Amino acid sequence: MTTLKDQLNARTDSYDHWALRRRYGPEGHNDRSLWVLACMDERLPVDEALGIRVDSPAGGGDAHCFRNAGGIVTDDAIRSAMLTCNFFGTKEIVIVQHTQCGMLSANANDLERMLKEKGVDTENLTLDPTLPELKLDKGGFAKWIGMMDDVDVTCMRTIETIRNHPLIPKHVVVSGWIWEVENRRLRAPTLDAKVRGRVPDVRSTDFGVSQNQPPRWV
């Protein structure tokens, strides 16, 4: 028979291990050995969309979660994925982007122009004052903003880019998904018009953006 004393010992040992996880390198992985890349949008509930609990309850924690505008590849997303996959035992990456994304709602060239009108010198910016070595080539600012033409295409290319990145080990399983904000439903990224037709806003043209974004994938 297991006594309560045994159970409480096991529980406190397990909690100690949880609290000290990062000391154990790959052995101290999160519960699902998972890294999530998701858009920062408040209408994308990561736990509900994926059926996981990212950072709760205490003593649990299914994933490391990285959120940025769009849930796209950026140098900091790659930095975080590199750390968790190479040193903290992560074996799977899940990307979540979504319909109605703000990153579809304007053209990046217009956003850059608006910043210039506010007096920002977008040609000579130190993006990260703690890392002045990180620089954009002239004319790269609008591309850096990372606005999208099409969320499904962006999701598919995000999967491909992360899968092929030299800092991400080949054994890591990578998948990407679209959260339909309108239906609270997850689906795979697709170009199938019938599936995409369930919700209206998956392309920037649906938001009235007439020009293509500065291409980020070439």
Is residue 49 near Zn ion by the rule CB under 5 A? no
Is residue 148 near Zn ion by the rule CB under 5 A? no
How far is residue 73's CA from residue 210's CA, in Å, rounded to a whole number? 24
Is residue 150 near Zn ion by the rule CB under 5 A? no
Is residue 180 near Zn ion by the rule CB under 5 A? no
Is residue 81 near Zn ion by the rule CB under 5 A? no
For residues 146 and 70, is the Cβ–Cβ distance under 8 A?
yes
Minimum distance of Zn ion from residue 57's CB (angstroms):
27
Is residue 41 near Zn ion by the rule CB under 5 A? yes
Minimum distance of Zn ion from residue 104's CB (angstroms):
8
Is residue 108 near Zn ion by the rule CB under 5 A? no
Nearer to Zn ion, 139 or 200 (CB): 200
Stretch of 19-27, 94-102, 110-118, 156-164 lying at the interface with Zn ion (CB under 5 A): 94-102
Q: Give start and end residues of each alpha helix (H) in 88-163.
A: 108-117, 141-145, 151-163
Is residue 156 near Zn ion by the rule CB under 5 A? no
- What one-letter code names the amino acid at 92? E
Q: Within a 13 Å sphere around the CA of 102, how many CA atoms are in the beta-carbon half?
A: 12
CA-CA distances (angstroms) from residue 71 to 97, 119, 182, 197? 6, 28, 18, 22
Minimum distance of Zn ion from residue 215's CB (angstroms):
20
Q: Which residues pair with 179 in a beta bridge?
A: 98, 186
CA 36 distance to own-chain centroid: 6
From 38, 95, 101, 155, residue interacting with Zn ion (rule: CB under 5 A): 101
Q: What are the residues binding Zn ion (CB under 5 A)?
A: 39, 41, 101
